[in-house]
Structure 1
């Protein structure tokens, strides 16, 4: 595959949950290595909600959620940063390097990579940030040195205050500021499913508006609702398309980038 074979001109952004990445087979990272060697420029933004919850529980720190956002105090934020920028970020870097790829772990704090401010409902959720900017030069600089940037979604403001940022929101912002029109969301499901003729079938493409209809009529339900809404959060700025794929699918990244219909493409309209 050459750089010209996909829409991002070589650069593409991939979002993945920490627990999903941990469960991916070695072949996924082999595919990532081959893409990197062929001239593609992957950028990874990762989450890690379950690991954060586990560490908070171990430390006896109470945690709650409001509309899917973790209520974040300074005490909680210490654990969020430790988990995301520490153990999870480095575990991903190790797996990439273990397959023969080259990776560099960063958080949004490093070089003010991700700048942020408090979300509008900060009185309810605390130190949760919305992205105000992404330093695309850092991302491009890391790529130019031959490394895959692996980014933990912690933001920072001009005064040095840290913020907990939703990983999907951070990934969408990184994609938008770096000029990648497409986001790949790697999950543990084959895409958005609906029942046709009594069988569960993957929808090849769906618009943001159709997703709300599918949720309303019960076709999208349970644990798929937050996954889909999170993917919608990625569609911002220059990002016009999000592809939800199962990371266990053979050569999934290469196949999506070559234009193969795989998973579900979410488009604006």
Structure 2
């Protein structure tokens, strides 16, 4: 019976994609930082430096003095990793007024190069606990217990606007920057896909299309309407843009999609987390 519901929802989704007859799209939402929630120094880092931080296995990294200001100290023997910071000098530059055409000199900071800055992971410090704000939604999305069964931690919080969420296989963590259930379903799809075969790092089209097709199917099962349009656009963007090309790509990865859905449903049956399924 449950397998029939999965296939029915998946077939309905594929039919909508083929016909282009998709329900009106709902607005996506992002988690906003609450008053009193502290900003980490890394919130202002470049994307490249934030990636170095993730690769170092942490969500918070700071310089030695910055940790002291947070009333924490670096543990003895801890090793720093390095980020790149711009080296600047003050320099007079010639600026032309666009309206009058008059030129004038202004003193501005000019980047002359980059230098390496040593920073330490939160996990390599000790001292006062950092202030935290709980962004977990009052009502958890369906299948939330499936992540726990897989040993995957799920954390909600504000992001930098670059994505709605991500799955970190090495850390066994799903980070969500929205309360929309579809994003949780997408990242859960990645997590379960990773149990079939290890995922490759980066935005790999096949992996993204599997996760998004899984997410849209689960939205159909649980009655979250209005996300199929977003999913179709997402799939098309990774498949090359053309509808027929996108449909062929879905069919190419359909076996993985079905296996991921089967594993999610089996885990949900074991945890009793099948609530709300239509």
TM-score by length of 1: 0.25
More strand by share: 1
Which of 1 and 2 has greater Rg?
2
TM-score by length of 2: 0.25
